[in-house]
Amino acid sequence: MFEIFSTREVAILIWSTIFIVVAIFIVKFKQLLELLKSFFVSKIQLPLWFMFIYITVITTCLYFLKIWNFGLLKDTIIWSIASSTILFFNINKAKDLTYFKPVILENLKAIVILEFVSNFYTFNFTTEMILIPIMTFIGLLQIAAEYSAKTNTEHLKVASCLKTFFSLTGILIFTYVSYETIKYYNLLLTVQNIKSLLLPFVYTISLIPFLYLLALYMNYEMLFIRIPYLVKEKKEQRKLKRNILLIANLNLNNLNKISVNLDWFSIEKHGIKKSLKKIIK
């Protein structure tokens, strides 16, 4: 079963399990239950499972187009659990189309190729088990040092030192990867590996329509929650909501403009339609 996973992935899985078990013992059981309750609410679970169904549909389409095969199952599961879930829980930050541009560019960066190659060439299991907690700990130290440097400038030296350490480590990894790539290029440059490299990009692009609609729904929901505080009469509330839906429609940019600039005094003076159209101009 574990043959499909690299030594690095097995090491990460083991250390993650250890971390979760330790965290359960450290954190009070009552607090853990409260955390799980807040996660397993319908408002989170329904769209989350809709997203997983959406990814399954995309995968099925790619399978029938002979782009996806079962050799990519591991990569698909990892991407679905990690990358897509991060995108899902950050979608509340999406207020307009500019949010999605960095998401696409992140997948086009050259560093993605370097990460893929460096993950392809891994160290033996013992080395990975030692390296992962050390690198994670140093990484957390760097984040802590950079954060505390805002109030204590002395910590800038520590942050700079740790950053230099990571840069040197990166150069060493790059040298190792370059050597292995030149030596065993025939193992890396296969159709299956190219598919594995492009898979995250294909899934991210395919997921954007779903994320866009989810962002649209969330922004409409947040705006409509505010309306009863702006308008007291139920009839006027329904009328305002209906007009917002008609004018903003599926345009996230226009919806954000309305949400930011909605003013009931202006609406009372100029009328609902005229005021909303003036906002989105």
Going from the C-alpha of 135 to that of each of 117, 231, 252, the distances in angstroms are: 19, 55, 40
Same domain, 19 and 102: yes
Looking at the fold, whether 181 and 72 belong to one and the same domain comes out as yes
Distance in angstroms (rounded) separating the CA atoms of residues 280 and 167: 46
Q: Determine the pLDDT at residue 17.
A: 83
Q: Helix (H, G, I), strand (E, B), or coil: what is residue 245?
A: helix
d(CA 193, CA 71): 10
Same domain, 188 and 245: no
Q: What is the pLDDT of residues 49-101, one digit of tens each?
A: 999 999 999 999 999 998 898 888 888 888 898 888 988 988 988 888 888 88
245 and 149 in a single domain? The answer is no
Biggest CA pair distance of the chain: 75
Per-residue confidence (pLDDT) for residue 46, from 0 to 100: 92
Q: How many domains does the chain have?
A: 2
Q: Domain check: are 173 and 270 in the same one?
A: no
Contact 86, 207 (CB under 8 A): no
Residue 116's H or E segment, with its range, is helix 110-120
Sign of CA dihedral 218, 106, 137, 153: negative
| Same structural domain, 189 and 82 | yes
Query: Residue 1 — pLDDT band, cuts 50, 70, 90?
Result: very low
The pLDDT tens digits of the residues spanning 128-165 come to 788 888 878 877 777 777 777 777 777 777 778 877 87
Instruction: Note down the domain range covering 241.
Output: 231-280
In this predicted structure, what is the pLDDT of residue 236? 82
237 contacts 231 by C-beta, under 8 angstroms: yes
Q: Is residue 220 part of a domain?
A: no
Same domain? For 14 and 76 the reply is: yes
Domain boundary among 207, 223, 243: 207
264-275 confidence digits (pLDDT tens): 666 766 677 777
Cα–Cα distances (Å) from 150 to 4, 142, 161, 258, in that order, read 44, 13, 16, 36
- 87-116 residue pLDDT tens: 898 898 888 888 888 877 776 665 455 555
